[in-house]
Structure 1
Amino acid sequence: MSKRDYYEILGVARSASEDELKKAYRRCAMKYHPDRNPGDKGAEAAFKECKEAYEVLSDGGKRRLYDQHGHAAFEHGMGGGNAGPGFGGPDMGDIFGDIFGNIFGGGARGPRRGADIGYVMELDLEEAVGGVERRIELPTLVECGPCQGTGSEDGRLETCDTCHGHGQVRFQRGIFSMQQPCPACHGRGKTFRSPCPSCRGNGRVEEEKVLQVKVPAGVDNGDRIRLSGEGEAGPPGTQPGDLYVEVRVREHPIFQRDGDDLHCEVPIRISQAALGDTVRVPTLGGEAEIRVPAETQTGKVFRLREKGVKSVRSRAPGDLYCKVVVETPVNLTTEQRELLDQFEATFVGEGARRHSPKSSTFVDGVKGFWERMTS
């Protein structure tokens, strides 16, 4: 696969100064750095691509070689004995792929479309479930207004004299015939006499883009929303890239989401668990009631049908699962302590075991264990 032009990667003109290169690299590195995009293989690859481009273009000697010969200056051993721009030598698969691709009519393509952009949008659970419209701002490359993306000051374009409008040039290397993007028009097939002063002939300028993004109801953590044509503007004559908005749902203080279902814990008192009670529980649509029967043990789960989430992929909402947790009372008054002492005094003798089924099972298990150990 043909490698992208280093100037295109950094989003600068071929006449870019050292300071412009440095600013472009910092912007690119901030956008794609692995620490800001954990687990994103695409961002990791883009970061390495930016680093490679800057290592070449920031070095005067390497930049001159690149301007004259393109990637071939490093991939095919033309860099004065240097195997490559600081990344461990050429990829033999790419070399042979380029050579044989050109022999059989393939080879380098013209200008690519604009780059895709990734944006992470954090939402509360309620926003993700109910849907929301958000205003976002992101720095990106947009079509230059004064020249309408042509790169020409007067808007007039001419057929490139070097490639005759094909966007590619062919050259001979030994027995092999090879082709690469035209160095004069950078693969566009068109040139201009006077570059636009606003974009310096690049056809694109950096700008803070403002968009209104509609997030559909029911999105989940990791879902991506594609906005076609809202990515970076491409080189003159090409289509813009796309914007991908990735949803990240913040942790909720009450609910945990599992697909279309919701889970929560409901604390109840010992008296409620022992005697039974009607307990009010929260849902995303308001309050609901669950009937806790007498002698309920901690960990008991109650299901409320269709009180979960209706995702963007499902037809019906999921359920809400409420797990009751029996709380031990704290900050007791003197009267409460006395009442509990009186209550505890009723648990005496063998008859007390029938009031604590789990405790009885545990005690029987321990006795059996010691009997087996001592036999």
Structure 2
Amino acid sequence: RAAYDRFGHAAFEQGGMNGGAQGFGAGGFADIFEDIFGDMMGGRQRRSSGGRERGADLRYNMEISLEEAFSGKTAQIRVPASISCAECSGSGAKPGTQPVTCAMCNGHGKVRATQGFFSIERTCPQCQGRGQTIKDPCSKCAGQGRVTEERSLSVNIPAGIEDGTRIRLANEGEAGLRGGPSGDLYIFLAVKPHEFFQRDGADLYCQVPISMMTAALGGSFEVTTLDGSQTKVKVPEGTQNGRQFRLKGKGMP
């Protein structure tokens, strides 16, 4: 940062400042920029102490019927995901052993490199920023601290839920690395089209054919609503094609 304040962009140009960014690998420029300004951008908070990393969030797509959206339900789903390794309790180390402090960075997860007039901290190449290394990895998880298994979960779908609703199950995503916190599982709901009803928010619409005689002289017809009940609708005489009849309280919850 001091070099940037003093020399501006010239401090980072190829060939400037006794070689500038040379010697830091193919992605050196971007890495150097992140290393210098990482504190301001929160770049140093991706890993917690001890190399623990939060697990990834997962997405699960679920289709339900309009009847299920109307009444609500508890669904059982099976989700393949990484879970914490029971053999090593998520540490990644062979049972009876522990990860050791990285000798290259002394547990800091960063190493300092001097280039020209300035010094830059970079992610430790030996421990990948974790601050620890595993000499004897767990045989079950190969040192990752987690294994992939299929889990059975219960999902509560409330009555009246809408198409496209997202349900979050906290800590049910991928297990974290080396004892880190788990991610979340997001259930994305899609309500299948109904053969009779069309939905608009909490309102339901349907088209019912009636005879010319009923429209002219009056009469009635019955509608089976989503709760399974039969509702009689009175048709006054002289009813025109396309007329709407409202059944109060018979839509979605």
* TMscore range, shorter length: 0.7 to 0.9
Q: Partner of 1:122 in structure 2?
A: 63
Matches within 5 A, 1:105-120: 107-108=43-44, 109-110=46-47, 112-120=53-61
In structure 1, the residue matched to 2:101 is: 159
Residue 186 (structure 2) aligned to one of 244, 254, 259 = 244
Deviations 1:274-295 (A, max 9, x none): 1111211121121111111001
Q: How far apart, CA to CA, are the structure 1 residues paired with 2:163 and 2:41?
A: 45
Shift of 1:164: 2.1
- 1:158 to 1:99, Cα distance in 2 relative to 1, 3 A: closer
After the TM superposition, which of the residue ranges 109-118 and 168-177 deviates more from structure 2?
168-177
Query: Is 1:145 the counterpart of 2:97 in the alignment?
Result: no
CA contact (8 A) 1:168 1:180 kept: yes
- The one-letter code matched in structure 1 to 2:211 is R
Q: Distance in 2 between matches of 1:128 and 1:105?
A: 43
TM-score (norm 1): 0.55
Tell me what 2:173 maps to.
231
Aligned ranges 1:1-20 → 2 under 5 Å: none
Query: Deviation at 1:156?
Result: 1.8
Q: Give the corresponding residue for 1:101.
A: 37
Match of 2:252 among 309, 314, 325: 309
- If the length of structure 2 is used for normalisation, what is the TM-score? 0.80
**Contact 1:147–1:153 at 8 Å: present in 2 too?**
yes
Task: For 2:67 and 2:41, locate their aligned partners in 1 and report how far apart those are by CA, in whole Å.
Answer: 55
- Aligned partner letter, 1:301: Q
Q: Secondary structure at the match of 1:265?
A: coil
Letter in 1 for 2:190: R
How far does the alpha carbon of each residue in 1:322-353 deviate from its partner, in whole angstroms, 9 at most, with x for none? xxxxxxxxxxxxxxxxxxxxxxxxxxxxxxxx
Cα deviation digits, residues 152-201 of structure 1 (max 9, x gap): 00242322222222233332344444334333333322233210011111
Q: Quick check: 1:189 aligned with 2:135?
A: no
Partner of residue 76, structure 1: 28
Distance in 2 (alpha carbons) for counterparts of 1:135 and 1:176: 58
* C-alpha distance in structure 1 between counterparts of 2:111 and 2:31, whole Å: 17
SS at match of 2:174: coil
Cα RMSD for the two superposed structures: 2.2
- Higher-RCO chain (CA-CA 8 Å, sequence separation at least 6): 2
Which residues of structure 1 form unaligned runs of 5+? 1-71, 78-93, 311-375
1:339 maps to which residue? Answer: none
Q: Which residue of 2 aligns with 1:133?
A: 74
Q: Which has the greater radius of gyration?
A: 1
Tell me which of 201, 208, 212 is aligned to 2:154: 212
Instruction: Indicate which of 221, 224, 227 corresponds to 1:279.
Output: 221
2:65 aligned partner, one-letter code: D
**C-alpha contact 1:220 1:249 (8 A) present in aligned 2:** yes
Matched to 2:244, the amino acid is V
Amino acid at match of 1:271: M
> How many angstroms apart in 2 are the aligned matches of 1:187 and 1:96?
15
CA contact (8 A) 1:119 1:245 kept: yes
Structure 2 gaps, min length 5: 1-23
Measured in 2, the distance between the counterparts of 1:160 and 1:96 equals 22
Task: Give the Cα separation in 2 of the matches to 1:270 and 1:142.
Answer: 65
Identity of counterpart residues, as a percentage?
44
Find the counterpart in structure 2 of residue 290 from structure 1: 233
Taking a change above 3 Å as real, the CA distance of residues 178 and 96 of structure 1, as seen in their structure-2 partners, is closer
Cα distance between partner residues in 1 of 2:230 and 2:120: 71
Whose strand fraction is larger, Structure 1's or Structure 2's?
2
